[in-house]
Each structure stands twice: as structure tokens, then as C-alpha cells.
Structure 1
Amino acid sequence: MAVLAELAFSVTDLAQMRFAVAPMWEVGPSYRLLASGSTPLVHRPWVEQVRPRLTAAGLDRGWLAELIPPSGYVPDFLNPAPAGPAPSLAEELAGIRATPAARIRQDLDRLGQEQGGLGPRARTLYAEPQARLVRVTEEIETYWELALAPYWARIRAVLDADVFHRARQAAEHGAGRLFNDLHPSVSWGDSALRLAHRHRPLSRGTAGSGLLLIPSVFAWPVPFTRVTPPEPPQLAYPARGTGSLWEPRSGARAEALAAVLGRSRTRLLTELETPASTTELARRTGLSAPGVSQYLTALREAGLVTAHRAGRSVLYARTSVAESLLVAYTPGVERGRSQGGEP
């Protein structure tokens, strides 16, 4: 049954409130979205590209399949409190591996209770937490490389733009305006933050001090919370601008950029609107596979593309630097697009 959660704030709590961009808050919600039978329209292009890779790698039936159910509770140890404003995935995985065995078993007890039991892998994790956590984090790394790393420059731009917008909003209008604008289910009044449609109550007595606000492009349809005192509670909310995340960002013409990089290299960058392999890029452009490989190597050394292993293939993706170049040199492309409307 849904409840209205209410988190009271003191002056100290407001002083300890901060934002963070956390890779694991993209891992869990995005995996759940891929595993579900319901795909929001905004993420359909991403799902259509990534789901086949997930199945081919067997990640639809591994550790994450048991730890991240289609609905309900996800173990809190998968989302350690970010120590800084933008921890790397490696830092977050180190935090997961450092989770005390008692904490892991406590989370798995709750997962088993809500899901009607634990799967075989989750039971071995319960029996040997420290040894099995290594396997869990290895699978997370594989998932990241397949599903999120090729798109991270684009995702990160949306998350950073959201934090910039919220911080300016708080500076100009105060924390109340910031909270009331996060999501329709979130409201602020009488020194308390209220979250509608929650499955469990939330109070300052059961949470740590302060608040961590974490934008996520995959947090949908309502914000997610993590409450593990004495750490500050975490609120992962849908990032502003997610609605335009997968829209094409480069136009058909980029002559000015071609004059700098060359036509073939520029063509490859524009074709990398979605991550692709050397073979796929050769098929699309009519260039030879060896030529594409040579150009991609040059673009990678220049920091314009990244390479990500996907099974037997390597997927190439544009970096944020390449995205900025294409926006700057392509006529008619709107600047600051990642700061678009609400999802």
C-alpha cells in the first residue's frame, strides 16, 4: 500500500544537502528497465540497441538478474553513498566490495522477504559475501561496458546540466523551489520533504542527516530512495533533459568541421550518433574496413572517440569533446540542448 513519506529538515540537514552524479544510480535503474517488459518511449532507441547485447552476454540471467528484480526493493549495498560530487564507477565498485558481511545479509534478508525467496546466486552471496561480491562487481563492469560506457558522454552531459540548473535554482530561489521542481511526487513545506506513492515510510528518525540528491536518466517513473543510517539518505530523481537524451544531435552537413578533420573522419563522427563497430561503420559509409580502423585510431588518439568491448566486437562512441565539435560546426544545431524540457 502506498504511503506518504515525510523527511523533516533542520538547519544542519539543509547545510549538509549536496548533489552527486553516481554511475551506480544509472546501472540499477537501467538494468531494471532492460529486464522489464515495459519500455518508456524516451528510452526505446537505447533499449533496442542494448537489449540484444545483454542477452548475448548472458546478463539477463546472471547476478544482476537476481539482485535487481523487475519491481520492488534493490539491495542498498549496490548504491554506496558517493564520497564526492562525481565518483567513478571503479570507486563505487570499491565501495560495494568494502560492504560489511552483516550489511549484505541484512539487505538480502529484505530482498528475499519481498521477493518470496532468493535465487541460487543470491544464496551463495549470502553464504560467502566477501568472496562472491567480487563476482557481482565483475558482472557490473561487464554490464557497464556493454550498456552504459558507450553512451556515458551523452548521459553525463544531461546529468551535469541538471545539477547546474538545480544549483542555480537553489541559489536564486531557495531550497523550497528546488524541491518542488524535482518531480510531481516530491513537495516541500513546513521544513519537511514529502514523497508521495512510497512503499515504506521515511522519517528523519530512520535516516541519517543531510540529503544526497542524485539525478538519473533512468530513474523512472518516480524517484528512488536509499536510507541506510548513519549515511545521508539518497534521493535519485529523473534528470531534467532526459526527454531529449537520444535525439539526433548532429546535422547532415558539417563542411566546416570536415575542412579541419577531413571528410572521412567527420563522416565517421556523424555516423557515431549511436555506437557502432568498424564493420558497421564501413557498411554505412562505403569506406574500407581497414580505412575505417585507421581513421578511428586517429580519432581515438585525439580524444574524439572511445572504444568499448561488446562480446567479440568493439563499439566506438563519440566523446563529449566530439559532441561539442559537432554542435559548434553544424548549422542549425541548438546549443545547450542537454538542458531541454522535463522528461
Structure 2
Amino acid sequence: MLELEFTAEDMARTRFAISPLWEVVAGLRVLLGADEQGLHRRWAEPVRARIAAAKLDLTPLAALVPPPSPSVPGFICPPPTTPWPSLEVELTALRRTPRELLRALSPHARPGVDAILADPDRRLGELADLIEAYWEIAMAPYWPRIRTLLESDILYRARRFAEGGTRLLFDDLDPQLGWDDGTLQIAHRYVRGVHTLAGRGLILVPSAFVWPRVFSTTDPADLPVLRYPPRGIGTLWETRPSPASPALAGVLGRSRARLLTELAAPATTTDLARRTGLTPGGTSQHLTALRASGLVTAHRAGRVVLYARTRVAEELLNGAGA
């Protein structure tokens, strides 16, 4: 059992954030075997195929975050410095990792870290470049959907806090958590003891890829972080496209509305043409228009291009009841 002791200052400094870089790390652990229940199978199977097609060698990153390890080296995913950091901002921090921090890591992280220490500037740059390549294939096409889930959880938690304070906030955050008399109790499998937050507060980070675990960081030299599964995680990869609503078709046109509705999961031009009955050329033209209007993004994965809905498109579909 891990116990985090809060003071009044800690409660005042507790906040939420999202971390794209953490999702990269946690998602890779899923691909390496951390998803025993198969929750992310619909995501993992096509992503593995695209990584193989792109011949992307993830060994340098995988060596740092193998699923059997009970923890993740802190420099790979430092605490978010803002509520909504971009991947670029977090990778900048990764590239600037202090050398003394690498040397101070615990022995379980040494195999991957020793290679970085041999030439820190070059190896950290290569690691950041590898993460960017992996992000484009595995995360970027799905990010609007993931981010919507994470933001929805944060809004729900904010309402809980407004209604009942800290106790209500933590009451249903995760079954492994309990709140009692200013102390957050975490049923950790590997970490035990009592830690005082010392006025630094706690950063709460919902994560799509941690279920059924929670991850915590209590290093005195850094900001405390708790990463937990968001509400509705079991529905994240559901793909049940419904007919485009008449309202949406009236604005976009029937074909474009249908394509947007079909993009419940990222897909290629060929896939969309087959599913909608449109010609490949017509599908490509409609996707180009949707991309120009900010409703669709394109991401190269090996030899194919995947199209995905943007966050704006997700909100538009929700508003139209599609």
C-alpha cells in the first residue's frame, strides 16, 4: 500500500493534465504485451501491422519500457508542465534530459540507459525522432478519439470536485484508490510506504493505456503524478458507424457526411471507397475537401495513408447526433 499525505497546500495545488508522451510509452507497453485482457486489441493489431510495414525498429524505446518492469524511467515521460502539452513540447524536454538524471536511475533501467549515456546528445535526439515516427503511425490517427475520452474524464472529475471536494473527487477515480483523513491510499503491487507531498500537490493524468493499473511518481526531485484509467475506457475502440444524420448531410453533402461517419476508426481511401460504394477517385476528392476544411487529417503509415477525424469533426458529429 502506498500512502500520499496531503496538506492544505497540496490540495490547493492538485490539478489535471494530459500527456501525449506518456500515451506513447503506455501504448508501446501494450504492444509489447502489457494488455493481457485484450482491451486494446482493435487498436494494437492494425498498429503492429503498420509498424511492420514501415519497418520501424522500436528496439531503443522498447528497451527502456519493457512490460515486465514494474516501473518506467522518469526521464522518458516527465510530469506535464501544462494541462495540455503537445508532443513537441514534451519531446523538447526529453532531448534536454540532464545527464545526472540518467546516471541516477535505478538498476532496472540501466540496460537501455547505458546506451544513451554513451553519447547522450545523439542518442536522446534519435530517441525523440523514433517517438515522433511511432506517434505518426500508432497514435496520431487515433489521438482525437483518445483525447476526447481523456478530456471528458477531466470534465467529469472537475464536476465531482465542485460538488463534494477532494473526497468526492477520489471516491470513484479508481477501485485501487481510497481517501481517508487527508491521505490518498493506493493499492500498489510494487510500491509501499508513506510519502508526504510537501506542498507540491498532485498531477492527475488520465491515460487510455494503463488499465487495469495505476502508475504513480513520488520522486522528491520531481512533481508527484498519478496516472489512472479514465471513465468509459471499455468503449474507446468501439466502431459502430451509423448513417449520417440528415442535418450533417445538409451541411456537408451526403457523400462527405457518410465518409466522416465511416471514419469512426482511421482508414485508407481504398477502405472507405469499398465501404461506401464511392469510386476511389471520388473518395479521394471528398477526403481532400474534408482535410482542407479541418475535419480530416492524413497520416502516412508505411506505404499507405490513413485518414482520421479531427477533434472538430468529433464535436460536429456529436452535435449532429451522428
In structure 1, how many angstroms separate the alpha carbons of the residues matched to 2:185 and 2:54? 41
SS in 2 for 1:247: coil
Alignment of 1:48 onto 2:45: yes
SS in 1 for 2:267: coil
SS in 1 for 2:237: coil
Query: Residue 107 of structure 1: which of 105, 109, 112 is its match?
Result: 105
Q: Which residue of 2 aligns with 1:66?
A: 63
Offset, 1:38: 4.2
In structure 2, how many angstroms separate the alpha carbons of the residues matched to 1:40 and 1:54? 22
Alignment of 1:192 onto 2:183: yes
Alignment of 1:213 onto 2:211: no
Offset, 1:228: 2.9
In structure 2, how many angstroms separate the alpha carbons of the residues matched to 1:197 and 1:325? 40
Q: Which residue of 2 aligns with 1:88?
A: 86
Q: Which residue of 1 aligns with 2:10?
A: 13
In structure 2, how many angstroms separate the alpha carbons of the residues matched to 1:108 and 1:309? 37
Q: Which residue of 2 aligns with 1:223?
A: 214
TM-score (norm 1): 0.87
**Partner deviation per Cα, 1:297-337 (whole Å, 9 max, x = no partner):** 1101111101111112211101122223323334xx6xxxx
Query: Residue 25 of structure 1: which of 22, 43, 47 is its match?
Result: 22
The verdict on how the C-alpha distance between 1:13 and 1:281 changes in structure 2, with shifts beyond 3 A counting, is same
The verdict on how the C-alpha distance between 1:102 and 1:206 changes in structure 2, with shifts beyond 3 A counting, is farther
Amino acid at match of 1:216: S
Alignment of 1:78 onto 2:76: yes
TM-score (norm 2): 0.92
Alignment of 1:178 onto 2:169: yes
In structure 1, how many angstroms separate the alpha carbons of the residues matched to 2:90 and 2:199? 20
Segments of 5+ residues of structure 2 without an aligned counterpart are none
SS in 1 for 2:4: strand
Check conservation: 1:214, 1:236, Cα contact below 8 A: yes
Check conservation: 1:208, 1:233, Cα contact below 8 A: no
Offset, 1:189: 0.8
SS in 2 for 1:31: helix
Check conservation: 1:8, 1:192, Cα contact below 8 A: yes
Q: Which residue of 1 aligns with 2:116?
A: 125
In structure 2, how many angstroms separate the alpha carbons of the residues matched to 1:199 and 1:240? 24
**Partner deviation per Cα, 1:236-281 (whole Å, 9 max, x = no partner):** 0001121221223641243332222112212211221211122222
In structure 2, how many angstroms separate the alpha carbons of the residues matched to 1:233 and 1:309? 36
Q: Which residue of 1 aligns with 2:226?
A: 235
SS in 2 for 1:174: helix
SS in 2 for 1:198: coil
The verdict on how the C-alpha distance between 1:68 and 1:58 changes in structure 2, with shifts beyond 3 A counting, is farther
**Partner deviation per Cα, 1:167-195 (whole Å, 9 max, x = no partner):** 11111111012123111111111211111
Moved more, 311-320 or 286-295: 286-295
Amino acid at match of 1:95: A
Q: Which residue of 1 aligns with 2:245?
A: 254
Q: Which residue of 2 aligns with 1:340?
A: none
Amino acid at match of 2:127: V
In structure 1, how many angstroms separate the alpha carbons of the residues matched to 2:186 and 2:276? 50
Q: How many pairs does the alignment contain?
A: 321
In structure 1, how many angstroms separate the alpha carbons of the residues matched to 2:169 and 2:158? 8
Q: Which residue of 1 aligns with 2:280?
A: 289
Segments of 5+ residues of structure 1 without an aligned counterpart are 113-117, 334-343
In structure 1, how many angstroms separate the alpha carbons of the residues matched to 2:34 and 2:8? 43
In structure 1, how many angstroms separate the alpha carbons of the residues matched to 2:28 and 2:207? 13
Offset, 1:13: 1.2
The verdict on how the C-alpha distance between 1:40 and 1:54 changes in structure 2, with shifts beyond 3 A counting, is farther
In structure 1, how many angstroms separate the alpha carbons of the residues matched to 2:181 and 2:237? 39
Offset, 1:226: 1.9
